[in-house]
Amino acid sequence: MSTVLPPKNPENDPRIKAVFDDIRTTRKTDFINNIWRYLAFDADLLERTWAEVKAVMATPSALDPQTKEMLYLAVSIINNCAYCVHSHTAGAKAKGMTQAQHAELLKIVALASKTNQLAVALQVPTDPEFLLEE
Amino acid sequence: MSTVLPPKNPENDPRIKAVFDDIRTTRKTDFINNIWRYLAFDADLLERTWAEVKAVMATPSALDPQTKEMLYLAVSIINNCAYCVHSHTAGAKAKGMTQAQHAELLKIVALASKTNQLAVALQVPTDPEFLLEE
Amino acid sequence: MSTVLPPKNPENDPRIKAVFDDIRTTRKTDFINNIWRYLAFDADLLERTWAEVKAVMATPSALDPQTKEMLYLAVSIINNCAYCVHSHTAGAKAKGMTQAQHAELLKIVALASKTNQLAVALQVPTDPEFLLEE
Amino acid sequence: MSTVLPPKNPENDPRIKAVFDDIRTTRKTDFINNIWRYLAFDADLLERTWAEVKAVMATPSALDPQTKEMLYLAVSIINNCAYCVHSHTAGAKAKGMTQAQHAELLKIVALASKTNQLAVALQVPTDPEFLLEE
Amino acid sequence: MSTVLPPKNPENDPRIKAVFDDIRTTRKTDFINNIWRYLAFDADLLERTWAEVKAVMATPSALDPQTKEMLYLAVSIINNCAYCVHSHTAGAKAKGMTQAQHAELLKIVALASKTNQLAVALQVPTDPEFLLEE
Amino acid sequence: MSTVLPPKNPENDPRIKAVFDDIRTTRKTDFINNIWRYLAFDADLLERTWAEVKAVMATPSALDPQTKEMLYLAVSIINNCAYCVHSHTAGAKAKGMTQAQHAELLKIVALASKTNQLAVALQVPTDPEFLLEE
């Protein structure tokens, strides 16, 4: 079903093993989900992608982990990535998203898509009030 | 620049005036931004769109107003609606989004788009662990 | 503003002149809109694109001209092509689209985008009833 | 396969039963397709979505039902919603779309996507002739 | 799974047979992949689509075949067409794309998507240096 | 026009100055284009983005620089980023893309978008021949 074959024994490669170990340590779980197993077809791509995910998503920052996962999920829905919609719905729930919050996220995503298309269809000019003053 | 002309004296139409009044009351401001002025070319479309925006975005709910605006902004970026990116960046700031949080939202949007495309390119199969049990 | 410069005297090139003449004859107007002037930077691209537009849009067929322009407009909105939204809003009006029909097209485009995103977000499985029997 | 579980006995909830009853009455069929069964995970989302679909798609208006379904289908194709492509291909056929019209819709969708991308790639400026005069 | 049924004995129709024969001759293989079998539900659509694919992709030109297939693959990833991602990954490999080049294509697609979204989110103005002088 | 204000004297910040210096050295030019001036509103975002662009685009690798820029441009067109279409058209030309190659890139992008939409509209099943054997 995939366009590359994931390595059969990925952790024989010390670069891949180091990334997988860091995923396990950072996430406090033994579960390595498929995106990492498939990215492992190229060690450099795997290392760089994980480094960025770890820095942005798994490091304390100006937004709380649940909000970050919900933003990731909203983007994944609009980009229409089925794998990502599954993994980040699970991720947002794991960070505390309730069913009511999930439903509300869906309402916002749906409403935003609707008004986005209306603004594009009408070619509405930007209000001067929204522009920044230098 | 737009594909419809907004009505010149929109509030002469009582249906439009009622919506504009409700926008002013709900948002506690005299500012009616352009999307509403252009949607006013069709009173039904204006009424329905505002009713939904009010219900989803301006009613206390399971998510706080800043998070809701940030989700709306993330969707607007991916849908590539310039008007909406401007209005919802302003909206999120008005609800409290700091510059650091803005930068972080951008990092998440950019990272999610990147991994979304990688998962699509690789056609990664969904892990059974992400599927719900009935 | 554009990424190629349109030829200054495009009709000096007989291949371009032949296309422009055919556009004028087919559409019964002297107006050659910009997309053709810019595509003229490559005569082959111009010829092939016009041949396809003529065959699909300017030849009597199973759908009436107004419906065809409205479908073209709907696609252009979702693909977010500002030039095309302008030209095909004008085109649909020229083929008879009323203001009420324009408003209705916008409602459908907005609603479809909304339910499209909901179905993606929920990963709704296709009903067996929708599948074709061989 | 989905990201939420549909309620097992949805019609035990009177709000959901009322929507399902209205779908059956409006469409004159006992078939409730999956999008409604999954949206039923949140009664408010179900009610609001159905109310809008009924108002826009199942109420006599300025466009005929077949044209409306074909516009919905065109948007669903570009938004790349597999579920929606299936359900609205079936819907358009049920409203009278012939195989020849289906093929023509596909030609328009494909051609529009092509010229949309060309106009974006060339950054073609909008002709003054397309702009509305105030 | 599809929205049209492919003809059962497509080559009984001489127009379809002519296209299939030309595909086999042009590609030097007996394999007719599914997109052609399904497009055969409308002979005109099949003929026109193949004629364009042959002219653009199977005719010696200013770009080498591998680069052309890689560009096709990059577009297919962003347009999120699963069928096309599979067929053009196979196509690019058949034209010589190595695993290292595949990984690099993925890095570029992912990086471009990331910076595309950042530029949209920031609404960065185009540098005058990028504009063409007339 | 933008949603953040670029710093007025960006190189007063040593982190920003280091990135700008590296851009100038790497590209052998004094020109710092706007995307970097606007990303400089957040030093971390600037540093990370440049590091990735430098690693992927400005380091000798399995693909030649012109092919890499053309892939970047193709993605930017489909993602519909006007800024990026301008900057990467310029970039590809600077790396050697001729006008004939530019026209051909456009033909491929347009054709791929067309067949992508047809495959989505038809929901064509993936041929077993395209699947990898384990």
* pLDDT reported for residue B133: 74
Could you tell me if C27 and C91 are in contact, meaning their C-beta atoms sit under 8 angstroms apart?
A: no
Over residues D34-44, mean pLDDT: 98
Report chain C residues whose CB lies below 8 A from the CB of E1.
131
Could you tell me if B116 and A84 are in contact, meaning their C-beta atoms sit under 8 angstroms apart?
A: yes
Q: How confident is the model at residue D133 (pLDDT cuts 50, 70, 90)?
A: confident
Longest dimension (CA), chain C: 59
pLDDT tens track for C59-106: 999 999 999 999 999 999 999 999 999 999 999 999 999 999 999 999
Helix ranges restricted to H, chain F: 14-27, 34-39, 43-57, 65-79, 82-94, 99-122
- Token pair recorded at residue D11: 């019609």
Q: What topology is assigned to A62-123 in CATH? A: AhpD-like (1.20.1290)
Could you tell me if C115 and D53 are in contact, meaning their C-beta atoms sit under 8 angstroms apart?
A: yes
List the single residue in C45, C79, C81 with the smallest CB-CB distance to F107: C45
Cα separations in angstroms, D133 against A79, B1, B5, D129: 37, 10, 8, 10
Cα separations in angstroms, A102 against B79, B100, D44, F53: 20, 25, 13, 35
* pLDDT reported for residue C133: 75
Strand locations in chain B (E): none
Could you tell me if C134 and D94 are in contact, meaning their C-beta atoms sit under 8 angstroms apart?
A: no
Cα separation, D24 vs E117, whole angstroms:
43
Of E48, D122, E47, residue with least CA distance to C48? E48
The proportion of chain A whose per-residue pLDDT surpasses 70, expressed as a percent, equals 99
Measured over the CA atoms of residue B36, residue B39, residue B41 and residue B42, the dihedral's sign is negative
Chain A: residue nearest C80 by CA? Answer: A120
Instruction: Choose the CATH number for E62-113 among 1.10.3720.10, 3.40.50.2300, 1.20.1290.10, 3.90.1150.10.
Output: 1.20.1290.10
pLDDT over threshold 90, residue C1: no
Domain residue limits, chain E: 1-59, 62-113
Q: Which of A63, A102, A104 to mutate to test the interface with B (most CBs of B within 10 A)?
A: A63
D56-84 residues labelled b (16+ CB within 10 A) or e (exposed): bbeeebebebbbbbbbbbbbbbbbbbbbb
- Interface touch A41/E103, C-beta < 8 Å: yes
DSSP conformational letter for C30: S
Could you tell me if B9 and C107 are in contact, meaning their C-beta atoms sit under 8 angstroms apart?
A: no
* pLDDT reported for residue D20: 98
pLDDT tens track for E58-70: 999 999 999 999 9
**φ, ψ dihedrals at A87, nearest 5°:** -70, -35
- Interface touch D114/F118, C-beta < 8 Å: no
Report chain A residues whose CB lies below 8 A from the CB of B38.
122, 124
Cα separation, B11 vs B18, whole angstroms:
8
List the single residue in E80, E100, E110 with the smallest CB-CB distance to A80: E80
pLDDT over threshold 80, residue C52: yes
List the single residue in A80, A85, A110 with the smallest CB-CB distance to D3: A85
Architecture of the domain whose range is C63-122: Up-down Bundle (1.20)
Chain A: residue nearest E87 by CA? Answer: A3
Cα separation, F85 vs F73, whole angstroms:
6
Identify the contact set of chain C against chain E, taking CB-CB distances under 8 A: 1-5, 48, 52, 55, 131-132, 134
Q: Dihedral of the CA atoms E57, E102, B105, F77 (nearest 10)?
A: -10
Cα separations in angstroms, E2 against C128, D57, D100, F69, F121: 12, 24, 17, 36, 9
- Interface touch A81/B111, C-beta < 8 Å: no
- Interface touch D48/B52, C-beta < 8 Å: yes
Cα separation, F115 vs E57, whole angstroms:
13
- Interface touch D45/A102, C-beta < 8 Å: no
Report chain C residues whose CB lies below 8 A from the CB of B44.
103
Chain C: residue nearest B48 by CA? Answer: C107
pLDDT tens track for A63-83: 999 999 999 999 999 999 999
* Higher pLDDT among residues D80 and C134, named by residue: D80
pLDDT over threshold 70, residue A134: no
* pLDDT reported for residue B1: 83
List the single residue in B48, B55, B132 with the smallest CB-CB distance to D5: B132
Instruction: Choose the CATH number for E1-59 among 3.10.560.10, 1.10.3720.10, 1.20.1290.10, 2.60.120.560.
Output: 1.20.1290.10
* pLDDT reported for residue A98: 98
The proportion of chain B whose per-residue pLDDT surpasses 70, expressed as a percent, equals 99
Could you tell me if D103 and E41 are in contact, meaning their C-beta atoms sit under 8 angstroms apart?
A: yes
Chain A: residue nearest B126 by CA? Answer: A83
Q: Which of E81, E107, E108, E122 to mutate to test the interface with A (most CBs of A within 10 A)?
A: E107
pLDDT tens track for F27-72: 999 999 999 999 999 999 999 999 999 999 999 999 999 999 999 9
CB B128: neighbour CB atoms within 10 A? 7
pLDDT tens track for E105-119: 999 999 999 999 999
What 3-state DSSP class applies to B3? coil
Chain F: residue nearest C75 by CA? Answer: F117
Looking at CA atoms only, how far is residue D72 from chain A in angstroms?
13
Report chain E residues whose CB lies below 8 A from the CB of A6.
none
The proportion of chain D whose per-residue pLDDT surpasses 90, expressed as a percent, equals 97
Cα atoms in the Cβ-side hemisphere of radius 13 Å centred on D15: 13
Could you tell me if F41 and F4 are in contact, meaning their C-beta atoms sit under 8 angstroms apart?
A: yes
- Interface touch D117/F110, C-beta < 8 Å: yes
Q: Dihedral of the CA atoms F14, F18, F20, F22 (nearest 10)?
A: 170
Cα separation, F107 vs E69, whole angstroms:
12
Please tell me if the domain spanning C10-59 has the same topology as the one spanning C63-122.
Answer: yes
* pLDDT reported for residue A34: 98
Domain F7-59 belongs in CATH node 1.20.1290.10 = yes
pLDDT over threshold 80, residue F133: no
Residues E122, F19, F78, CA angle at the centre, nearest 5°?
A: 40
Q: Dihedral of the CA atoms A47, A48, A49, A51 (nearest 10)?
A: 80
CB C126: neighbour CB atoms within 10 A? 19
Report chain A residues whose CB lies below 8 A from the CB of D42.
99-100, 103, 106
List the single residue in B3, B44, B45 with the smallest CB-CB distance to C85: B3
D8-59: what CATH class?
mainly alpha
Over residues F63-91, mean pLDDT: 98
The proportion of chain C whose per-residue pLDDT surpasses 90, expressed as a percent, equals 97
pLDDT tens track for A28-68: 999 999 999 999 999 999 999 999 999 999 999 999 999 99
- Interface touch D132/B52, C-beta < 8 Å: no
Cα atoms in the Cβ-side hemisphere of radius 13 Å centred on A35: 24
Q: Which of B106, B109, B111, B120 to mutate to test the interface with F (most CBs of F within 10 A)?
A: B106
- Interface touch C120/A77, C-beta < 8 Å: yes
Q: How confident is the model at residue E133 (pLDDT cuts 50, 70, 90)?
A: confident
Report chain C residues whose CB lies below 8 A from the CB of D62.
98, 100-101, 103-104
* pLDDT reported for residue D1: 83
Over residues E38-54, mean pLDDT: 98
Q: Please name the residues in contact with C25: beta carbons below 8 A apart, sequence gap of 6 or more.
A: none
pLDDT tens track for D72-117: 999 999 999 999 999 999 999 999 999 999 999 999 999 999 999 9
Instruction: Choose the CATH number for D62-122 among 1.10.1740.10, 1.20.1290.10, 3.40.50.2300, 1.10.287.130.
Output: 1.20.1290.10
- Interface touch F86/C3, C-beta < 8 Å: yes
Q: Which of F38, F47, F48, F120 to mutate to test the interface with A (most CBs of A within 10 A)?
A: F48
Please count the residue pairs, one from chain B and one from chain C, whose beta carbons lie less than 8 angstroms apart: 20
List the single residue in C113, C118, C120 with the smallest CB-CB distance to A117: C113
Over residues B47-60, mean pLDDT: 97
Cα separations in angstroms, E16 against A1, C70, E54: 29, 31, 15
Place of tokens 């990028």: E130
- Interface touch D3/A86, C-beta < 8 Å: yes
Residues B89, B94, B98, CA angle at the centre, nearest 5°?
A: 75
Identify the contact set of chain A against chain F, taking CB-CB distances under 8 A: 1-5, 48, 52, 55, 131-132, 134
Q: Which of A114, A123, A126 to mutate to test the interface with C (most CBs of C within 10 A)?
A: A114
Q: Which of A101, A102, A116, A124 to mutate to test the interface with D (most CBs of D within 10 A)?
A: A102
Q: What topology is assigned to C10-59 in CATH? A: AhpD-like (1.20.1290)
**C contact chains, 3+ CB pairs < 8 A:** A, B, D, E, F
Q: How confident is the model at residue E134 (pLDDT cuts 50, 70, 90)?
A: low
pLDDT tens track for B107-130: 999 999 999 999 999 999 999 999
Instruction: Choose the CATH number for A9-59 among 1.20.1250.20, 3.40.30.10, 3.90.1300.10, 1.20.1290.10.
Output: 1.20.1290.10
Looking at CA atoms only, how far is residue C1 from chain E in angstroms?
6
